Amino acid sequence: MSVTQLKMQKNTGSTIISVVLLALLIWALSSGKKDVNPRKGSEETQVAAKETPAPGELEKTPIEKPPEEEKPEATNKPSGKKLPEEPIPEVNPPPIVPPVAKQAPEEKAEPPENTPPPAPAPEIVPAPKASVKGVVTDGEGKPIAGVLVRLRKAEKRAKKKKDQEKRELGSTETDGRGVFEFLEIDPAPSVELMAFHLDYVEFQGKPFELRSAEAIESFTIRLSRGGRINITVLGPDGSPHAGADLSIWRAVDDRKHPWEKIKTRKADSSGKSFFAGLHDNSYSLRAGGNGGTRHYTRLLQVTGSRNLEQVIQLEPEKTISGIVRNSRGEPVKGSLVKSFRSRLELGQEEKSSNRTNAGGEFSIGQLGDGVYLVTVQSKGYLRHSRMINAGEKVTLVLRQYGRISGQVVSRSSGRAITGSRAQLDPLGVQKGGQGLQPNAEGFFRSNNLLPGSYLLKVTAPGHTPASLDLEVKDGQNLELIIELEIPSP
Tally the C-alpha atoms within 13 A of residue 277's C-alpha that lie toward its C-beta: 17
At 155 the pLDDT is 73
Percent of the chain whose pLDDT exceeds 70: 75
Among the ranges given (210-214, 304-308, 350-354), the one the predictor scored with the smallest mean pLDDT: 304-308
Verify that 189 and 268 share a domain, yes or no: no
Residue 459 predicted with pLDDT over 90:
yes
Verify that 239 and 190 share a domain, yes or no: no
At 258 the pLDDT is 86
In a domain, 375, yes or no: yes
In a domain, 100, yes or no: no
In a domain, 45, yes or no: yes
- Indicate the residue among 374, 398, 422 that finishes a domain: 398
Residue 423 predicted with pLDDT over 60:
yes
Q: How does pLDDT run across 186-241, given as a tens digit for each residue?
A: 999 999 999 999 889 889 999 999 999 999 988 999 999 889 999 999 999 999 99
Verify that 279 and 205 share a domain, yes or no: no
Measured between alpha carbons, how far is 49 from 67 in angstroms, rounded to an integer?
19
Verify that 244 and 186 share a domain, yes or no: no
Verify that 291 and 363 share a domain, yes or no: no
Verify that 447 and 382 share a domain, yes or no: no
> Which is higher by pLDDT, 489 or 39?
489
In a domain, 353, yes or no: yes
CATH number at residue 390: 2.60.40.10
At 157 the pLDDT is 59
In a domain, 246, yes or no: yes
Q: What is the mean pLDDT of the chain?
A: 80
Tell me which residue range forms the domain holding 290. 227-313
At 113 the pLDDT is 62
Q: How does pLDDT run across 263-281, given as a tens digit for each residue?
A: 899 999 999 999 998 989 9
Continuous segment of H or E residues that includes residue 39: helix 38-50
| Overall average pLDDT of the 360-375 stretch | 92
Compute and round to an integer the Cα radius of gyration of the chain: 54
| Overall average pLDDT of the 113-128 stretch | 74
At 242 the pLDDT is 92
At 112 the pLDDT is 56
Among the ranges given (13-17, 438-442, 454-458, 470-474), the one the predictor scored with the smallest mean pLDDT: 13-17
| Overall average pLDDT of the 29-50 stretch | 46
Verify that 67 and 19 share a domain, yes or no: yes
| Overall average pLDDT of the 158-170 stretch | 66
In a domain, 92, yes or no: no
- Indicate the residue among 337, 369, 398 that finishes a domain: 398
Q: Is the dihedral of CA 278, 280, 281, 287 positive or negative?
A: positive
Residue 322 predicted with pLDDT over 70:
yes
- Indicate the residue among 350, 377, 398 that finishes a domain: 398
Q: How many domains does the chain have?
A: 5
In a domain, 264, yes or no: yes
Verify that 141 and 182 share a domain, yes or no: yes
CATH number at residue 268: 2.60.40.1120
In a domain, 453, yes or no: yes
Q: pLDDT tier at 333 (50, 70, 90 boundaries)?
A: very high
Q: How does pLDDT run across 44-71, given as a tens digit for each residue?
A: 444 343 444 444 444 444 444 444 444 4
Verify that 422 and 409 share a domain, yes or no: yes
Give the pairing of strands 393-398 and 318-326. parallel
- Residue 141, classed as helix, strand or coil, is coil
Cα angle for residues 327, 333, 337 (degrees, 5° grid): 85
Q: pLDDT tier at 295 (50, 70, 90 boundaries)?
A: confident
Verify that 307 and 325 share a domain, yes or no: no
| Overall average pLDDT of the 353-367 stretch | 94
